[in-house]
Amino acid sequence: MAIQDIYPTALRLLGRPVLVVGGGPVAARRAKGLLDAGARVTVVAPDASPAMAELAGAGLLSWEPRRYGPSDVDGVWFVQTATGDPAVDARVSADAEAQRIWCVNASDHEASAAWTPAVAVVDDVKIAVNAGGDPRRAMALRDAVATALDAGDLPLRRRRASTGSVALVGGGPGDTGLITVRGRRLLGQADVVVADRLGPRELLGELAPDVRVVEVGKTPGHHPVPQAEINRILVDEARQGHRVVRLKGGDPYVLGRGGEEAEFCRHNGVDVEVVPGVTSATSVPAAAGIPVTHRGLAKGFSVVTGHEELSEVPARADHTVILLMGVGQLRDSAASLAQAGLPAGTPVGIVENGYLPDQRVTIGTLGTIADQAEAVGVANPAVIVIGDVVRVSPFAPSHFKTADYSTTAPNKPRTAKTRVLTP
């Protein structure tokens, strides 16, 4: 049978009787697929594999422990034979053909009236692949297509009107490879994208031309689109039947006001999904080789957005403090921590534009970092890390290395993509 002889279609078997002849593992897999389609499955086989026996024991199908007879095909809509005996399979196939019942013959794909494709489901899309009767080839192709759909590399976007929804997608710190698979897939399905200025901006250029991008980006002290207006945009667009993606930098629930947006959507009857992202609080320090916790140096960390909250965190070098959006208040923050008792020699690292081509790292101490930042013009977006964990960074100067942390060998300072300033 040539591939050109195939007319692809899909069977709706909900509530309809089907017959499976055979009780082995292959027959069990086929029976499970038919059950998933809602069919009423009868299995005829002298013996049943553990998988088949389990389905029968659970009452999901009817198993008749005997040999096949010609009358078994009477009144069924579809037949699957997988006995492992080509002669029996051929007889079942011939009996089904005589009654004009579609039959899949697992022993002889060339003689089979129908083929079972390799199937994958991504959201509400079902992919079925036939590959010239070669099941392993079909499975490989199916997996490749499913992976591309999962990753958003193939268009999943609906073209007919549907119920609107909102997805709050955390895009990570900016590198396009750090958005989650789920987030990338939803972005590929979007009709409208409400975008921040941070996050994986390059992905916007991959959207279809008719996808609308609504820019609502904020900078410190400058919010051209107030939060209340962003909330309204999300709900209004969803009520028009659009699939809306709110593409945010980092994680929408980590200092990202995602909770407010989700609450507003739910309050207004709009379905909302939250897709976590890689938060810049921990990922951007990692881009500079700084772990927020490290054996022998720090067992915990705090994330804050300004110097006012610093009175609430432990003022110890073994408790990492991470400042987000803190460049403008860096001098005040350093003074607050020093006043709380943190030593002036505590290491501090600033990572600008983490994971991006213009990433820059500035390393100093609590007593010097404000002057250093001003001297080189440190600017947002930047993450500030305060604590002994900065010593682990490969960007740290050699005299920051101590015997107080457990590594197999001392790190060597690096200068690529970084400016290191020390007192």
The residues that are catalytic are 196, 218
* 398: exposed, middle or buried (Cβ count in 10 Å: 0-12, 13-18, 19+): exposed
Q: What are phi and psi of 201, to 5 degrees?
A: -65, -30
Nearest-angstrom CA–CA distance, 374 and 354: 19
Nearest to 78 by CA among 126, 33, 138, 121: 33
CA dihedral 334, 339, 345, 349 (to 10 degrees): -20
Those residues whose C-beta lies under 8 Å from the C-beta of residue 408, and which sit 6 or more positions away, are: none
Tokens (6 digits) for 340: 């709380």
* Contact by Cβ (8 Å): 280, 385: no
Residue 9: both structure tokens together? 């279609």
